[in-house]
Amino acid sequence: MTQHAGALSGPAVETPPRTLSERIVRALNKTPIHIALGIIALIWLAPTVGLLITSFRPRSDIQATGWWETIFTLRFTLENYQEVLQARGMLQAFINSAMIAIPSTLLPLAIASMAAYAFSWIKFPFRDTLFLVVVALLMIPVQVAFIPVLNLFRETGLTRGYAAVWLMHTAFALPFGIFLLRNFFITLPRDLIEAARMDGASDIGIFRRIVIPLSVPAIAAYGIFQFLWVWNDLLLALVFVQNGALNPMTRQIQGLLGTYGTEWHLLAAGGFLLMFVPLIVFFSLQRYFVQGLLAGSVK
């Protein structure tokens, strides 16, 4: 009787299907959801697949037929990429984009994580007030700072290189990064932090040895967000990169669009080169991205 009452009062656990018929019924129940998700995935991937195929097609074929019309009889060529990379300067623009995106991701990532730890686990005067100020900065658009900051950077000579765009990306990425990481850091076990302090660990030691290893999903998610934003940015590059030799890929493709607006083979190759790195970054770090988005939701 006691075992029966305990079984009734315990949490309901869904037992896995034991027979073949039960498994078939369960699969059929989920089939509409899988079909809907498959259709959404196909719609989302169609432009990317079309751009990829077009980037390898000769110019004459692109002007004659669509990529979907002769999908099984396509002729592929690498001349589009060779011309874009060598003659149109896209290879140097690719290097310039990496020179902009990597520091503009690492700098706010390091600063935001340290600031988020301070707002989470270090007591200092007006801590909550300062955090509210940081959150309020999320509502300030980047466009309002263009004129005063550009005048300041010109006087100091920062617009001659990458320093101006690094600083702008870092400054306007910090509020979101601090907000995101602080909300994750406060969900870490307090007992673990207090035990480390009782053992004599400093705040720097706790941050390096406890907080960072436990917060890899959240830090990686923020890093993905920031890298994709910087890599695809055109507005800040237009304003703060004033040396033509340092133009990133977004500005280079804009030049291709203005000069070779009807050269679809060049535009497709340049566009896919711009998309290639974000796709690799996202799919290679997708596990951390999903974990970072869901981190703390159960807690």
Is the distance from CB of 284 to CB of 199 less than 8 angstroms? no
289 pLDDT band, cuts 50/70/90, is low
**Structure confidence at residue 267 (pLDDT):** 82
**Structure confidence at residue 2 (pLDDT):** 44
> What confidence tens digit (pLDDT) does each residue in 91-123 have?
888 999 999 999 999 999 999 999 999 999 998
**Structure confidence at residue 131 (pLDDT):** 93
Q: In this predicted model, which residue has the larger pLDDT, 3 or 44? A: 44
Out of 3.30.1360.170, 3.40.50.300, 1.10.3720.10, 1.10.8.60, the CATH code matching 88-294 is 1.10.3720.10
Is the distance from CB of 224 to CB of 277 less than 8 angstroms? no
Percent of the chain with pLDDT over 90: 26
Separation CA 42–CA 143 (nearest Å):
36
Q: Where in the chain is the domain with CATH 1.10.3720.10?
A: 88-294
Is the distance from CB of 168 to CB of 240 less than 8 angstroms? yes
Which residue type occupies 85?
L
Separation CA 30–CA 26 (nearest Å):
7
Separation CA 100–CA 208 (nearest Å):
26
> What confidence tens digit (pLDDT) does each residue in 122-135 have?
988 999 999 999 99
What is this structure's pTM?
0.78
**Structure confidence at residue 22 (pLDDT):** 66
Separation CA 117–CA 73 (nearest Å):
57
**Structure confidence at residue 27 (pLDDT):** 62
Least confident of 47-51, 103-107, 190-194: 47-51
Mean pLDDT of 229-246: 89
User: Which residues have C-beta within 8 Å of that of residue 61, sequence separation ≥ 6?
Assistant: 70, 74, 75
Percent of the chain with pLDDT over 70: 82
Q: What interhelical angle do 286-294 and 216-231 show, nearest 10?
A: 120
